[in-house]
Chains A and B, each alone.
Chain A
């Protein structure tokens, strides 16, 4: 009898264990992605950026730290492009583990058994015959069987050095802007230097590079309450920090955006100038009140004493 019980118990445990093991596999299984690309043997890394939730995209752990506004189906193509470029620079900087990797064979590369969600596809840059082929980083909403075509931008490798510029643009949040921001410049995926942009240098930095390199820009310590988007137009990078309206407490997350931190903006503390005084005013007040109380006490004790004495 006891043996049967034991056996039943182990069977139950095995069943629970099997279910637990099967659950992630079931969740991970259903979606697939095909990337079409014109150049053979180019490696593509796929990064899992976010999962869909009722309140919009929920970033995965690897991407939770980047204050990048994730586009939704209604966002214009430029937003998708900007978000992909911005995240690609952070990936180059922080090198998270890709969810999947593969090389183009016969014009495409297939990824199977993906969890539904938002993925960033980054292709490797190839140099051939004095031309740099840079696959455009793309954000893809993978659901069911998804297919995308990813183009490569072609840049001729000239003998002359190339001059790049990064400029900072602010949108909103006038009172919350810091005095300076720091951006990391990455060359061929490796951190090259950090530069500080501020009013004194016109929020702009210019550098010269040997030709044939892939440059990326990643903003460090994005100011609280701002989202970041880095866009590249030829040799000019623009780092835009857009003020996110602080969210009402208790309200659901804004769809398609990472929550904006609710720290008070600089230069604004409840609509008043900073309180820059020591707490001196209570001192005379407390002293006067204290002395009055002691006075009353002494006076009453004296009167009682006199009263008792007379009685």
Chain B
């Protein structure tokens, strides 16, 4: 009889542990969201100041247009993305790795000359709200030299994580992508230059 009681309480304990794990993961995700929001705000606050001081590596005699990145906290940024319909402004890093994606959206491929692809984490403060974008919505990219590139959302699609060529090769002026909530596919927003 006794071992059966023990068996039952093990079921309950395992259940409680799983629930605790779920709550901990939930809490971590919420904390991580807040951290991500703070990090983009920090970068945005540093951006104008760096602009005014001239880009870090710029040499006298060079035009600002030749210097499209600014260095903030050791990371190079190519500019900012504005989503007027979402009320969202985000800095964009010059290249990507997983540590950088935790700080801000990152350039994945291409340039403003064409085929610019930007990847962002699906934090609510990063590319999470991208699923609210609708065709016709405005997306504005301002490069580090202050040049403004206005885009319009053309369509959204969901791509498999292995669809690298499809992601970069569609001939779109600007592509933004982030993970869907499941993390298994990529929500992709295609934009054309206005």
Which chain B residue has the least Cβ–Cβ distance from A197?
B66
Pair A274/B108 contact, Cβ less than 8 Å: yes
Which residues 190-240 of A sit at the B interface, judged by CB distance below 8 A? Answer: 193-196, 198-201
Residues on A with C-beta less than 8 A from B121 are 276-278
A282 contacts B25, CB within 8 Å? Answer: yes
Taking a contact as CB atoms under 8 Å apart, the answer to whether A267 and B109 are in contact is yes
Residue in A closest to B58 when the chains form the complex, CB atoms: A196
| C-alpha gap A301/B56 in the complex (Å) | 68
Give the contacts of B1-31 with A (CB-CB under 8 A).
1, 4-5, 7-22, 25-26, 29
Partner of B29, one of A180, A278, A285: A278
| Contact pick for A283, options B26, B66, B78, B167, CB 8 Å | B26
Question: Which residue of the partner chain, among B10, B111, B161, B163, contacts A297 with CB atoms under 8 Å?
Answer: B10
Contact A279 B25 (CB under 8 A): yes
Please tell me which one of the listed residues B4, B21, B29, B62 contacts residue A280 in the complex, with CB atoms under 8 A apart: B29
Q: How many residues of A contact B (CB 8 A)?
A: 47
Q: Which residues of A contact B67 (CB under 8 A)?
A: 196
CB-CB under 8 A for A282 and B12, given A273-B177, A301-B5? no
**Is B101 interfacial (CB 8 A cutoff)?**
yes
Query: In the complex the two chains form, is B12's CB within 8 Å of A298's CB?
Result: yes
- Asked if B80 is at the interface (CB within 8 A of a chain A CB), the reply is no
> Whole-angstrom distance between the alpha carbons of A64 and B6 in the complex?
64
Asked whether A276 lies within 8 Å of B12 as measured between CB atoms, the reply is: no
| Contacting residue for B96 out of A196, A199, A266, A296, CB 8 A | A266
Contacts of A269 in B (CB 8 A): 98
| A286/B21 in contact, CB under 8 A | yes
From residue B144, how far is it (CB to closest CB) to chain A in Å? 10
B41 on the A face (CB < 8 A)? no
B153 at the interface (CB under 8 A from A): no
Are A200 and B164 in contact (CB-based, < 8 A)? no
Complex interface bits, A168-197 against B, C-beta within 8 A gives 1, otherwise 0: 000000000011101000000000011110
Q: How far is the CA of A178 from the CA of B106 in the complex (A)?
A: 13
CB neighbours of B192 from chain A (8 A): none
Which B residues between 56 and 71 are near A, CB-CB below 8 angstroms?
57-59, 62, 65-69
| Cβ-based interface call for A78 (8 A) | no
Residue of B with least CB distance to A293: B15
Collect the chain B residues with CB atoms within 8 Å of residue A195's CB: 59, 62
- Neighbouring B residues of A11 by C-beta, 8 Å: none
Nearest first, the 8 closest Cβ-Cβ pairs linking A and B are: A277-B179, A293-B15, A290-B18, A297-B12, A277-B183, A297-B11, A294-B15, A290-B19
Instruction: Please name 16 further chain A to chain B contacts, defined as beta carbons within 8 Å, in addition to the given A276-B119, A278-B123, sorted by A numbering.
Output: A178-B95, A179-B78, A200-B68, A268-B164, A273-B161, A275-B179, A276-B127, A277-B122, A277-B183, A278-B183, A280-B29, A286-B18, A290-B14, A292-B15, A301-B9, A304-B8
Cβ contacts A to B, 5 pairs, < 8 Å: A179-B95, A271-B162, A276-B178, A280-B181, A289-B15
